[in-house]
Amino acid sequence: MKRAIITGANGFIGAALCKKLTISGWSVLGFIQTNENITPGHNIELISGFKLETSNIPKNSLINTQCLIHTAARVHVMQDSTVDPLHEFRKVNVEGTLRLAKQAAAAGVKRFILLSSVKVHGESSQIGQSFRESDQVVPESPYALSKYEAELGLMEIAKTTSMEVVIIRPPLVYGPGAKGNFRILLNWIQKGIPLPLGAINNRRSFVGIDNLVDFIITCLEHPKAANQIFFVSDGEDLSTTELLKRAAMAMGRPARLIPVPPVILQIGAKVLGKKEVAQRLLSSLQVDISKAQNLLGWTPPLSINEGLSRCAREI
């Protein structure tokens, strides 16, 4: 039986990946910080106490492993109170990741997959100008910079060892169990709360958890995925307004969207100290998945409407 290791196995992405891999015939060893949010299933072994900054995985656990999927990370913090945020992000996302990768390479792990972020290219794109993997990298936050530095370090490890590396840069990931602003918006729609988001003409890429997991599994063994960087999405970009309309339709609820001009929203967000939230709602951020489609023959198995319908069933 093929064997994979997943860090962050009780996280939003990690838990979904564990479930799908075992269904697909893989044996999974999951490393987690605590025993919360996941119940061991068939062919899943969990080891708690995993620390991101030290990547404290026992060496013998890496033996006879085909692939290690690193989903664990210090994620973006909206109001970071640490004295030196970049240092904290580097300690976990760069040093911890590269320490883990070196251990994996020494143990003979064949492939290392890193869940990175579209944000290594910046916080926004021009409408109609989707980011490609070869485009200039402009990380604007400590989180994004730490992810990019981890990418660079992994590619160096791939050059000097026999372990292959795959880097995946997803946009916003949504699905059943998702938290953050996306879940908040769905809750407001469910409650029928009017939202001033009816006149936003941006374009953003999204990826449903089912599509992301399907793509990760494609990258586990596909020979052409070795040492490559990929964007992944649902293949259809939407404005924030259109996304909310479709989410409301999936939930069987009216979309109570008030057409407030974006410039007014920007001013209001600045006054309220919510500039970053406004940027995510008002700006564009598009990715081009043609490389994944052409090189790996991958297409998203679910449409964004189907993905939103899955979300609606848990609200």
Bridge partner list, 229: 167
Catalytic residue among 143, 148, 174, 298: 143
The backbone torsions φ and ψ at residue 68, rounded to the nearest 5 degrees and listed phi first, read -120, 125
CA pair distance 133, 112, nearest whole angstrom: 18
Closest-CA residue to 64 (of 24, 19, 116, 109) = 109
Residue 174: active-site member: no
Give the residue carrying structure tokens 């407001």. Answer: 188
The alpha-helical segments, DSSP class H, found in the chain are: 12-23, 85-89, 97-107, 142-160, 180-190, 209-221, 240-251, 262-271, 275-282, 290-296, 304-312
So which residues are the catalytic ones? 143
